[in-house]
Amino acid sequence: MEQGKEQYRVVLKSIGGNTKEEVEEFCEKISKNLNLPSSLIRKIAHRNPIVLKKNLTLKKAEALAIAFKSFGANVVIEKRSPIPIIQVERQGLPPPQLALETCSLRKTPGENWLLVGKVKNISQEPLRDVWVIIQFFDGFELINYEEVPLPINPILTHQVSPFKAILEGTLDFQKVSLLFKNVNGASYFVLDQRKRREWVEVEIPEGALKLKPLREEETSEKSPLMVEKEIVREEKKVDSEGGVPSEEMEKESESLIPDSSAPIEEIEPMELGPEEKLELIEEEKKEEPLPYPWIGEFRAAIETYDQYQKEGFSLWIKNLQMENLIESPYHLLVILLTYCRFNQKGDDENALQNTQRVFPLLLRSNLTMEEVPELEGTPYFSPEVWRSLFFRALPKIREAARAILDQREWKAEELERFFQIIPQMGLPNSRWMVRVIQKWIPEKIEIDFSGSSVIIGEGLYRVASRLGIVNPFFDFYQGKNSMGDLKIQSFAKLVFPENPMRIEEPMEQLGKEGKEGHCFPVEPHCQGCMFESFCPKFYKEINPSEKGMVR
């Protein structure tokens, strides 16, 4: 690689032992001598290791490294490797089935490119007919590819298989991409375990390190290089502007002076123009593009859905609060639990009517069966039976409300199981309760949703297929940890890392059959669907759930 090309960077590793005193002293010195804001220097100093600047020539990288070393910092210069970058597709989504242990690319004597590597089966079952697709890119443009079968077939669990490919000719490319798949075209998730280095450390010349920072007591007579530097700058100022140098230029000083033992000709003083005073930047993170370009719109749609669900019940609760008819968080929690238990099979209207009828009795002690008013029944219970069951369940509702408030901090999955001690409180009711409790009583009950997962029904799987989250021909749902399950759980975590289960209710609702849903098994009714504007609408002619949900 030519030295003139801007392929070097300077990395701040540490400041002495990174003690508070060393960092403060470093910040004060470099801020004063280089006339940089102390807030910027402190921000950088406390974030090491950090890239100070990249895309430099070797001379500029050395000058910047020398400057920081002279003030007590431990810095290194790194050069970008001239070998094209080798990337692995389908990384990061669990569980990986293969692990790439090594992969290298080099030129052969015949000017061909030779790629060799080793991949390991880290799944719990043998993998048959594994191929690697090697793609060569010039920027973003695919210019060639090779398909190579792995020589070991099948690859048993924990077994390693080598692979090799030769690309003939003098093709000029910048990036290589590896994709592992089976003979049917389904690709594997891969864990990249290579010990590779895109940047290689460059040694800073010994003579250049024999520098020391300028001390306040040192004068221009003691530092001839600094004086000479000032004269050159003043002459340039006069020549360019046709006038006398400004007072600011006269005060400008060079922060580095050579030690008497260091030959002057070895030192390349660093120019700090006003427009580029140490444009210290953190190394740009190479973010992989999101696999779903519509993810922002999807998130906004879920937010909107959450605001308008159970509108009648929400308005009633707000009216009770405005009229000061809810006595305490405990009282509110009993109301929520009562409504949730009444809401069997999504019957919002009857659930609200029944809750309003029993509301005056919820905190009454010594309540008798005769005092309970008539209630609307359910598809499974007659009005009289449903009335009797409520009377028997009310003590459990009160007991659960006290226990929840006493503990205060809960994991979502633990609270979901706890709710089911209440009679007729099924899983859908418990999950709805876990969701709304955070909305209505957040100051008294803290719920950690980060470990929550999505329950996958036919409606949700169908919506996920139409969105392109799963492929019903390959990503089969066969329960927990099946490919369909893992993909949907990963998507939920990507959209809402703090609460993945937020996608569950709206997606299942859209996948319902009948007037309440949109994503019907065949020929979905897309008009009015909250995902209509961005959904790719895959698999409209088939029922994805019938194909992909293996029973």
For residue 550, the SS3 value is: coil
Can you tell me the mean pLDDT for 249-275? 31
Instruction: Indicate if the pLDDT at residue 70 is higher than 60.
Output: yes
Can you tell me the mean pLDDT for 159-180? 83
If one compares 115 and 240, the residue with the highest pLDDT of the two is 115
Instruction: Indicate if the pLDDT at residue 188 is higher than 50.
Output: yes
For residue 326, the SS3 value is: coil
Q: What's the pLDDT score for residue 50?
A: 81
Q: What's the pLDDT score for residue 229?
A: 35
If one compares 325 and 428, the residue with the highest pLDDT of the two is 325
Can you tell me the mean pLDDT for 207-211? 48
Q: What's the pLDDT score for residue 371?
A: 94
* Residue among 443, 405, 434 at smallest CA distance from 499: 434
pLDDT, tens digit, for every residue of 355-407? Answer: 999 999 999 989 999 999 999 998 889 999 999 999 999 999 999 999 999 98
Mean pLDDT of the chain: 78
| CA angle centred on 54, ends 50 and 58, rounded to 5° | 120
Does the predicted model carry a pTM greater than 0.95? Answer: no
Q: What's the pLDDT score for residue 139?
A: 66
Q: What's the pLDDT score for residue 4?
A: 42
Share of the chain above pLDDT 70, in %: 78
Q: Which of the residue ranges 199-208, 223-232, 468-477, 503-512 would you say has the lowest mean pLDDT?
A: 223-232
If one compares 201 and 5, the residue with the highest pLDDT of the two is 201
Integer-rounded Cα Rg, in Å, for the chain is 34
Q: What's the pLDDT score for residue 308?
A: 59
Can you tell me the mean pLDDT for 395-421? 91
Count Cβ atoms below 10 Å from residue 242 Cβ, excluding itself: 7
Confidence of residue 461 (pLDDT cuts 50, 70, 90): very high
Q: Please provide residue 502's backbone torsions phi and psi, each rounded to the nearest 5 degrees.
A: -65, -25
Confidence of residue 226 (pLDDT cuts 50, 70, 90): very low
Does residue 470 contact residue 464 with C-beta atoms inside 8 Å? yes
Does residue 548 contact residue 465 with C-beta atoms inside 8 Å? yes
Confidence of residue 39 (pLDDT cuts 50, 70, 90): confident
Q: What's the pLDDT score for residue 307?
A: 65
List the structure tokens of 181: 């798949």
Pairing of strands 130-138, 8-15: unpaired
